[in-house]
Amino acid sequence: MVKAIRIISLVSAFVLFSSSGSTEVHPLKMSFSKLEISSEGVVDLKTRIFLDDITEQLESLYGLDTVDFSAVETEATQTLQRYLTEHFFFEQSGKKSTLRINGVSFSQNRLAVEVHMSTENPLDVSKQLFLTNTLLCDADPKQKNDVIYREHRLRLSATNPKAQIQFK
C-alpha cells in the first residue's frame, strides 16, 4: 500500500510538473527510463531527461554552445552521447557495454528531451548484468534516476548508482 502511494505521488508530481507551461527551474531532480531486454539480449531503452538540467550540465562540462537535440547528428546530441557513455551503461563480466543514441525528440511540452538508445551488441542473457545510471548526479547530489524494467522500479542515484538486472 505504501509503495503504491509513493508511486502515485511520484507520477502525480511528474504529471503536474509536465502540464505546467513554466520555464522556471523545477524542483524535481529526476530522469525516467523504460528498459526492455529481449530474450536474445537486445536492449531497447527510452529515457526522459529534463531539458534545462541536461542542457546546463552539457554546457558546464563540455562548453556546449548550441542546444539542438533535433537529430542524432547534431552537436548537442553527440555531446549528450559522450555524457551518456560515462554515466549510463551496462556491465557484464567486467566489460562495459555503452548505450548509443538511436533517436531523440522532445516531450510534448518541450520540457524534456526523450532519448531512445540501445547497446551496440546484444547482452549475454546467460551472464550476470548490472546497470549503472548516474545521469546528472554530478550536477546535483539529490538527483534520482528511475528505471522501469519488467514492472519493477529501480531508483538509482549518487549513493546507489548500480543495480543488478534479472533476465528471468
Is the confidence at residue 8, as pLDDT, over 60?
A: no
pLDDT band at 7 (very low <50, low <70, confident <90, very high): very low
- Residue 166 identity (one-letter amino acid): Q
Strand order in the sheet with 43-50: 152-157, 144-149, 30-37, 43-50, 112-119, 95-106, 88-92, 129-133, 162-165
Q: Return the pLDDT at 167.
A: 84
Q: Which residue has the cell 531497447?
A: 44
pLDDT in tens, 144-158: 999 999 999 999 999
Cell of 11: 507520477
Taking all residues of the chain, what is their mean pLDDT, rounded to a whole number?
Answer: 87
Task: Please state the domain extents for the chain.
Answer: 31-165
Q: Return the pLDDT at 51.
A: 94
Q: What is the mean pLDDT of residues 136-165?
A: 96
Number of helical (H) and strand (E) elements in the chain, helices listed first = 3, 9
Rg (CA), the chain: 16
Chain CA centroid to CA 138, Å:
14
The three-point CA angle 121-73-101 to 5° equals: 30
Q: What is the mean pLDDT of residues 39-68?
A: 94
118 and 100 Cβ atoms separated by less than 8 Å: yes
In terms of DSSP bridges, do strands 43-50 and 162-165 run parallel, antiparallel, or are they unpaired? unpaired
Helix (H, G, I), strand (E, B) or coil at 13: helix
35 and 89 Cβ atoms separated by less than 8 Å: no
Is the confidence at residue 22, as pLDDT, over 70?
A: no
DSSP label at 27? S
pLDDT band at 141 (very low <50, low <70, confident <90, very high): very high
pLDDT band at 27 (very low <50, low <70, confident <90, very high): low
pTM attached to this predicted model:
0.82
pLDDT in tens, 38-52: 999 999 999 999 999
Q: Select from 125, 109, 112 the least CA-distant residue to 19.
A: 109
What percentage of the chain reaches a pLDDT higher than 90? 79
Strands (E), 93-161: 95-106, 112-119, 129-133, 144-149, 152-157
φ and ψ at 75, to 5 degrees? -60, -40
